[in-house]
Amino acid sequence: MEIYSLFFSLTLTILFAGIHSATLTVKNNCQDTIWPATLTGGTDAAQLSNTGFELASQASFSLDVPASWTGRIWARTQCSSDHSGRFTCATADCGSGQVTCNGMGGAPPASLSEFTLASEGGQDYYDLSLVDGFNLPVSITPQGGSGPTCTTTGCAANVNAVCPSELALTGSDESIIGCKSACVVFNQPQYCCTGEYNSADTCKPTNYSMIFKNQCPQAYSYAYDDGSSTFSCTGGPNYLITFCP
């Protein structure tokens, strides 16, 4: 029996080794509680076991993601449950009515951390995106790995402080709690990179996208903002995502 148990244990170890290609640790350096959320990309891809959670100020939470995971992480703010128990957030709400988002994305504006992770030995890609607008400062720091752009990418500025009124999302006290993209507000092809603007040659920075770019030069400010916004690592690192770095 002991030999069988040992064989069974070793078999499980071999079978499950490498299933988790990376650990993503989410840290809340903000003064207030936030509610991070995850969304796995792909129509048939299974969502992570935890798609949303509460994170107190200065707390951390780690997520194991499977090999070749593609997805995004963002944080919701000013969340609460109403008298019926329905859970909602003032920014980046996913509409599930629960703390977990269950495969639903965050409503703009939301600062996004995006990942395309490779299986063992491959190359990971990651970026910060303000294409859907901004609600919180955020950074991504690889822990291990190598490569010329295997470095921290961050958006530490408070874009809300310079957000023009026509893009501003205001809270119950009329303070600005998020800054929407021009695409979300105006839904015009030149801002959304659609129609005749759906290429890198025709979709260019606008006065609105430059507001985000000037504050956070390393983050995507519009769909084709590829020049200095994508980072990559080899060697299978883990990643630290810090809100309010």
Distance CA 36, CA 92 (A): 10
**Which whole-number Å values give the CA distances from 20 to 65, 120, 125, 135, in the listed order?**
5, 10, 17, 30
**CA–CA distance, 71 with 129 (Å, rounded to integer):** 12
Residue 10 lies in a domain: no
How many whole angstroms separate alpha carbon 81 and alpha carbon 67?
35
Between 242 and 15, the more confident residue is 242
Say if 154 falls within a structural domain.
yes
Domain that holds residue 75: 23-243
List pLDDT tens digits, range 162-198.
999 999 999 989 999 999 999 999 999 999 999 999 9
What's the pLDDT score for residue 44?
75
pTM (2 decimals)? 0.90
Is residue 4, in this structure, part of any structural domain at all?
Answer: no
Total number of domains constituting the chain: 1
pLDDT of residue 2: 42
CATH at 219: 2.60.110.10
Q: pLDDT for 115-127, tens place per residue?
A: 999 977 789 999 9
Q: Is residue 184 part of a domain?
A: yes
- In-domain check, residue 205: yes
Quick check: is 103 in a domain? Answer: yes
pLDDT, tens digit (0-9, with 9 covering 90-100), for 143-152: 999 999 999 9
Cβ count near 205 (within 10 Å): 13
Quick one: average pLDDT of 4-20?
40
Residue 121 lies in a domain: yes
Report pLDDT for 9. 40
Residue 128 in domain:
yes
